[in-house]
Amino acid sequence: MGRGVFFNREVFGADKLVAGVGKRPWREILAAAPLTARAQADIARIYEEAIDYLPGLTSAQKKDRLSRVSYRDFLLKIAGVDPAAIPYFQAMSQDEWGVGVDAVSALDVWTFDFPGFQGLKLAPGSAPRMGNTADGYADGGSYTFHFPDGNATIARLLVRKLIPAAVPGRGVEDAATAGVDYAQLDKPGQNVRVRLSSIAVGVRNIGGPEASRGVEIAYSRRGELFRVHAKDCVLAGYNMMIPYLCPDMSRAQKDALHYLVKIPLVYTTVAIRNWRAFKALGVSEIYAPGCYHATMRLNPVVDIGSYTSVRSPDDPILVRMVRVPCTPGLDERTQHRLGHADLLATSLETFERNIRDQLGRTLGPGGFDPARDITAITVNRWPHGYAYEYNPLFDPQWKPGQAPHEIGRARFGRIAIANSDSGAAAYTDSAIDQAWRAVNDLMQA
């Protein structure tokens, strides 16, 4: 099983799935693709030829130059790729950065092994003007582990540590399949109580931020309003909501909190009766740059504890599809705002029609019939998904302490601010580091 690319008729003029990515030469793979001969040759050149497109510069100078152009412009203006080849590259960066190649720097995607840089002989390692995700990959990070239920396993492990009776078992192996006893979460007399379905709607320092005597939190639960008092409070929800929860905060802090616009993401999961069509076509992962969902792949094989993945093509399996609503050509934060609107306004019917259409057209030649073979669809849409990471193409280089996330997360009386937003970094490590920092902000106050 290998990787493939699906070219759709709306963008490329004809529907065509090509397989063998990573196994056969690109010229051979693309020969069947609905692309001009020049576009085919340019894509193959970018993948396979080791050309120094920035001769005469040192590695550091090249990295600086690459940090100032989008990958799209690198391809067009520096590597001289024909514009007809760009739609093929357009969606390659969406999963990781939440925008297409028009809005991510060439330097950033170099760290993720995007093609075209092999002849530049760049020295390994991070560099100034690199975004946070790229920085992590440049210094040895990798996408290596996948829990069967995603990051939910991490939340289960945290809850188990706080309230052991709620999540029976021990260790990572049995966490994914452990049944959670929700009745244990909010029992009187426990040191830790977790109250679900409770939305904080107002948070204020009693006595004002300077002379705070504690915090009053108003929250809404099942249509009723409640109030709770606390010595300290950590706000760990989305930072851009905090100005509405704490209206008496300063204008400067509110503006800073509004700056970071969460990245919208959709993970769609489609249950299918079997994966014989994938097997027949020889692909487990398909990049579809012109389609509604730009990537789809069979659920990765993960065996952990009593959870085991399917092995036979005759067995039912999940297909994971990713959609990132982008508006190429605009700055990153504006694209995300439009993406939020898109996800909030799109009906499930629109998703379903696009999913059935895309799976049918991509896998039909392998015998797939959407009406017969799809058994369930789940669309998980996160209008507010990844935390925003500054983009060197659009954001200034702030002095230490002056970046919006640093101004925004300042302790406000007895209220501290966490969430991955307050680290301006998308991943779970940022969430954990920022939670630690927020608690320390209160302990030291």
Ligand X SMILES: Cc1cc2nc3c(=O)[nH]c(=O)nc-3n(C[C@H](O)[C@H](O)[C@H](O)COP(=O)(O)OP(=O)(O)OC[C@H]3O[C@@H](n4cnc5c(N)ncnc54)[C@H](O)[C@@H]3O)c2cc1C
Q: Which is nearer to ligand X, 137 or 386 (CB)?
A: 386
Contact set with ligand X (CB under 6 A) = 151, 199-200, 236-238, 241, 265, 267, 382, 385-386, 419-420, 426-428, 430-431
**Residue holding tokens 């996330």?**
405
Position of minimal CB gap to ligand X? 237
| Local structure of 55: helix, strand or coil | coil
Nearest distance, CB of residue 199 and ligand X, angstroms: 4
Give the angle 100-105-108 at the CA atoms, nearest 5°.
Answer: 100
DSSP type of residue 387: P
d(CA 93, CA 71): 9
Q: Which is nearer to ligand X, 363 or 426 (CB)?
A: 426
d(CA 333, CA 387): 11
Q: Which is nearer to ligand X, 42 or 332 (CB)?
A: 332
d(CA 178, CA 192): 20
Q: Which is nearer to ligand X, 236 or 410 (CB)?
A: 236
d(CA 299, CA 102): 29
Nearest distance, CB of residue 374 and ligand X, angstroms: 22
Strand partners, 57: none
Nearest distance, CB of residue 313 and ligand X, angstroms: 27
Nearest distance, CB of residue 31 and ligand X, angstroms: 35
Q: Do residues 90 and 101 touch, judged by C-beta distance below 8 A? A: yes
Q: Which is nearer to ligand X, 199 or 344 (CB)?
A: 199
Nearest distance, CB of residue 422 and ligand X, angstroms: 8
d(CA 198, CA 190): 18
Nearest distance, CB of residue 197 and ligand X, angstroms: 9
Q: Which is nearer to ligand X, 19 or 241 (CB)?
A: 241
Which tokens hold the place of 313? 């093509």
CA distances from 18 to 293, 398, 422 (A): 17, 45, 43
Q: Which is nearer to ligand X, 112 or 267 (CB)?
A: 267
d(CA 166, CA 156): 9
Q: Which is nearer to ligand X, 320 or 356 (CB)?
A: 320
| Local structure of 42: helix, strand or coil | helix
Nearest distance, CB of residue 30 and ligand X, angstroms: 31
d(CA 129, CA 271): 42
Nearest distance, CB of residue 442 and ligand X, angstroms: 17
